Amino acid sequence: MKATAKAHTNIALIKYWGKRNEALILPTNNSLSITLDGFYSTTSVEFKEELTGDRFLLDDIAVEGEQFQRVTTFLDLVRDLAGKELFAEVASINAVPTAAGFASSASGFAALAAASSKAIGLNLSETELSRLTRQGSGSACRSVFGGFAEWQKGEEEDGSDSYAVPIAPQEHWDIRVAAVVLSSKMKKVSSRAGMRRTVETSPFFKGWVESIPQDLEVIKDGINNKDFEKVGAIAEANCLKMHATTLGANPPFTYWLDTTVSVMQTVQQLRDSGIPAYFTIDAGPNVKVLYLPEHEEKVQETLRTIPGVSDVKLSRVGQGISYLEDEKFV
């Protein structure tokens, strides 16, 4: 009863920001992302009769505490679905540089969901897998699919209609994402805590939620027609709106550092000089920049020279979940 799966992380162009049900991880709004080929997790899960508890190795190191709890709570869901009471050995390798500011939880939970459900003998459809993955970490449900994916928030109280659907496959459009890594770090408000505080206290949250359907309509049209400027402009505006909600929270907070703002301004200057580039930022200080292949050199060079930037990591549009034979475990 062993299986190994690989899942890539994703970057949201229309952000998931706010839950309507914390236990089931049900969002207040639809979101839309690009799956990225550069950053992924590979996870193997083996259910064994002789185990008396779950075990979790991350990058060859045994994990305990809160991170372990999230994994074992997730495995409980898988055991419930399968009607089996076996414990598991989980080994995960992250090719997601934490410094790049990507939530490894997206690729991590997608790979865990795929490997554990296969290992325990569940034969889930992609929709069922996405619904299961969502309960590990919301944004992870979009990583089941490659290319462009939308997480439909759903209406049902039990979450049965809350999962991701594919919008366009990996090969639809070669757009690129540069992850700009900053040298200074800050004490992080986790995305979980940040969105909770925003939902509970920010008067801007209502406006955020109300603005989503229109943003989604525009971006889907842009993706369909490969209209880079349309997609980039709406992604950047959506990101700014999300971050504006945190300034309205009580107590107020922001994920931005001074270098975050420098990178944002540099991207806007690139546009003024005729190079279409747009930024988006998740629940952290690092910036992701969208650009077209023909501008890769210029964009990379420009971003690297910004004071306070320590690295720039490039990525293309990536694929969805894949299952690996053990000998291919990387």
Contacts to ligand FM0 by CB under 6 A = 12, 15-17, 25, 31, 103, 105, 137-139, 191-192, 282-283
Q: Are 58 and 46 in contact (CB under 8 A)?
A: no
Q: What is the smallest separation between the CB atom of 33 and ligand FM0, expressed in angstroms?
A: 6
- Rounded to a whole number of angstroms, the minimum distance from the CB of residue 138 to ligand FM0 is 3
Closer CB to ligand FM0, 47 or 255, in the complex:
255
Q: Which is nearer to ligand FM0, 25 or 287 (CB)?
A: 25
Closest distance of CB 3 from ligand FM0, Å? 23
- State which residue, 42 or 105, has the beta carbon closest to ligand FM0: 105
**SS3 at position 298:** helix
The residue whose Cβ lies closest to ligand FM0 is 138
CB of 81 to ligand FM0, least distance (A): 19
Alpha-carbon dihedral 112, 18, 316, 58, rounded to 10 degrees? -30
| Residue type, position 30, single letter | N
| C-beta separation of 170 from 318 below 8 A | yes
Q: Given the complex with ligand FM0, which of 283 and 321 has the nearer CB atom?
A: 283
Within 10 angstroms of residue 160's Cβ, the number of other Cβ atoms is 11
Residue listed under structure tokens 């950053």: 39
Q: Which is nearer to ligand FM0, 101 or 222 (CB)?
A: 101
The SS3 of residue 135 is coil
Name the nearest CA neighbour of 39 among 15, 16, 11.
11
Q: How far is the CB of 255 from ligand FM0 (least distance, A)?
A: 8
305 CB burial (10 A radius; 0-12, 13-18, 19+)? exposed
Min separation Cβ 327 and ligand FM0, Å: 32
Q: Do residues 60 and 66 make contact, with C-beta atoms less than 8 angstroms apart? A: no
Q: Between 3 and 177, name the residue whose CB sits nearer to ligand FM0.
A: 177
**Residue 206 CA: distances (Å) to CA of 15, 22, 240, 245, 300:** 15, 18, 15, 9, 37
Alpha carbons 172 and 174: distance in angstroms, whole number: 7
Query: In this complex, which beta carbon is closest to ligand FM0, that of residue 196 or of residue 295?
Result: 196
**Closest separation in Å from C-beta 14 to ligand FM0:** 8
- The count of other CB atoms within 10 Å of the CB of residue 206 is 11
CA distance linking residue 175 with residue 181, whole number of Å: 20
Amino acid at 107: S
* Least distance to ligand FM0, CB of residue 19, Å: 7
Q: What is the smallest separation between the CB atom of 109 and ligand FM0, expressed in angstroms?
A: 8
A 10 A CB-CB count for 25 gives 21
CB closer to ligand FM0, 26 vs 299:
26
Q: Which lies closer to ligand FM0 via its Cβ, residue 15 or residue 176?
A: 15
Quick one: how far is CA 216 from the chain centroid? Answer: 17
